[in-house]
Amino acid sequence: MANPSILILAGDGIGPEVMAEVKKIIGWMGDKRGIRFDVSEDLVGGCAYDAHGTPLTDATMAKAQAADAVLLGAVGGPKYDKLDFSVKPERGLLRLRKEMDLYSNLRPAQCFDALADFSSLKRDVVAGLDIVIVRELTSGVYFGEPRGIFKEGNERVGINTQRYTESEIARVARSAFELARKRSNKVCSMEKANVMESGILWRDVVQEIHDREYPDVELSHMYADNGAMQLVRWPKQFDVIVTDNLFGDVLSDCAAMLTGSLGMLPSASLGAPMANGRPKALYEPVHGSAPDIAGQGKANPIACILSFAMALRYSFDLGQEATRVEKAVEKVLADGVRTADLMGPEGGTPVSTTQMGDAVLAAL
């Protein structure tokens, strides 16, 4: 049997640097644990535009469709700010999400004990925090038509369309309920049903799927503005949050920042099962391409390493190996090993991107 395949799309900015550390871990898995992957690499985002005039070529898209898992670094940078909307680095990422139909985006917001003092929030508010935002990723205002900038009389009008079908809501709701069953069996769904009809449909469908298929899971509903408040006030009241593409974008970043360690947070974007039973899947750190520190060896590779751990768990059914990687990261943090972004008043051993990767390897 062939090895499972991984397509690496390191992207722009710090993407290639943090991905280099993941490659070491992949190598270690093969050498020490006999778990081998066929790894190939390609371009996405600004670097793809530089090489081919598009942030994602059809050939790369086809490779992503065929891969057992895609690992993505980050896309974008000021160099590409003036590009036309249609070829911006982000379009490459959005095309991958849409064409691979990765409708369920899992964004854990976890507060690492060694880093609890790092948050702008008080220790007791965030210590031990472990919640997951399940964000719908292939629909809503990100993809709805009509969209564009039009001329109306003398002026321009900017239009986007928030559009959700019943089945789009149902499938992401199911994925949230499934996840909740493996955790504390509790889901909070967020929308603006008091203002938007798409929010009413969202609330109704989530409730229907719950009543029909997951009556054992505790379900609550909350307006998204209140959700933002409650995340800041007392985030531990939540376990799994399910929400749409745009609210998910904002709320997951808010939740991520609560933990104070953006450089630590991974994500998984999952779609329907392929012929081999594995879900279509793309894994990426929550942080961006951080152009301001790119190329300086300052980036924290942990979010990207933990994204690979999520791949082990969700794509390759290697939960134990995933835990092994996560424990190694925890140990390194407990030992006080710190990239620049993790350097707090309490000190620690300052390390570069490469040294952090090596420390995780050593802990493995």
What is the x/- site pattern for ligand IPM, positions 64-93, by CB under 6 A?
--------------------------x--x
Figure out which of the listed residues 36, 52, 63, 163 binds a second copy, where binding follows CB under 8 A.
Answer: 163
Is 192 labeled as catalytic in the residue annotation? yes
Residue 221 in 3-state DSSP? strand
Is 327 labeled as catalytic in the residue annotation? no
Q: Which is nearer to ligand IPM, 15 or 357 (CB)?
A: 15
- Tell me: is residue 290 an annotated ligand-binding position: yes
Query: What is the residue whose two structure tokens read 């408040």?
Result: 229
The answer to whether residue 155 forms part of the interface with a second copy (CB under 8 A) is yes
For a second copy, the binding residues in 8-67 under the rule CB under 8 A are none
Is 101 labeled as catalytic in the residue annotation? no
Is 317 labeled as catalytic in the residue annotation? no
Q: By the 8 A CB rule, do 99 and 65 touch?
A: yes
**Region for residue 45 given its phi and psi (left: phi exceeds 0; alpha: psi -120 to 50; beta: otherwise):** left
Cβ-based burial of 230 (10 A; exposed 0-12, middle 13-18, buried ≥19): middle
Active-site pick, 12, 42, 68, 249: 249
- Work out how close the CB of 106 gets to ligand IPM at its nearest, in angstroms, rounded to a whole number: 12
**Identity of the residue numbered 361:** L
Only segment of 1-9, 250-258, 269-277, 309-317 that touches a second copy (CB under 8 A): 250-258
The answer to whether residue 142 forms part of the interface with a second copy (CB under 8 A) is yes
The answer to whether residue 195 forms part of the interface with ligand IPM (CB under 6 A) is yes
Sign, CA torsion 38/39/43/45: positive
Separation between Cα atoms, residue 47 and residue 318, nearest integer Å: 32
Q: Which residues contact 84 (CB under 8 A, 6 or more apart)?
A: none
Indicate the pairing of strand 240-243 with strand 186-191: parallel
- Tell me: is residue 176 an annotated ligand-binding position: no
- Work out how close the CB of 201 gets to a second copy at its nearest, in angstroms, rounded to a whole number: 3
Q: Which is nearer to a second copy, 167 or 276 (CB)?
A: 167
Active-site pick, 192, 214, 280, 283: 192
| Angle, helix 15-33 to helix 302-314, in steps of 10 degrees | 50
- Work out how close the CB of 227 gets to ligand IPM at its nearest, in angstroms, rounded to a whole number: 11
Active-site pick, 12, 42, 68, 142: 142
Partner that binds at residue 148, options a second copy, ligand IPM, none, CB closer than 5 to 8 Å by kind: a second copy
The answer to whether residue 197 forms part of the interface with ligand IPM (CB under 6 A) is no
Token pair, residue 292, equals 């301001």
Figure out which of the listed residues 225, 292, 317, 346 binds ligand IPM, where binding follows CB under 6 A.
Answer: 225
Total residues binding ligand IPM (CB under 6 A): 7
Is 225 labeled as catalytic in the residue annotation? yes
Helix spans in 12-88 (H): 15-33, 46-52, 58-66
- Tell me: is residue 300 an annotated ligand-binding position: yes
Residue 187 in 3-state DSSP? strand
* CA proximity to 111, closest of 271, 249, 262, 232: 262
- Tell me: is residue 293 an annotated ligand-binding position: yes
Partner that binds at residue 261, options ligand IPM, a second copy, none, CB closer than 5 to 8 Å by kind: none
DSSP state of 316: T
Q: In terms of residues, how long is the chain?
A: 364
Residue 25 exposure: Cα atoms within 13 Å on the Cβ side: 29
- Tell me: is residue 84 an annotated ligand-binding position: yes
For ligand IPM, the binding residues in 268-327 under the rule CB under 6 A are none
Separation between Cα atoms, residue 303 and residue 337, nearest integer Å: 15
The answer to whether residue 145 forms part of the interface with a second copy (CB under 8 A) is no
Applying CB under 6 A, the residues found at the interface with ligand IPM are: 90, 93-94, 194-195, 225, 249
Annotated binding site: 77-90, 97, 107, 135, 225, 249, 253, 288-300
Q: Annotated catalytic sites, by residue? A: 142, 192, 225, 249, 253
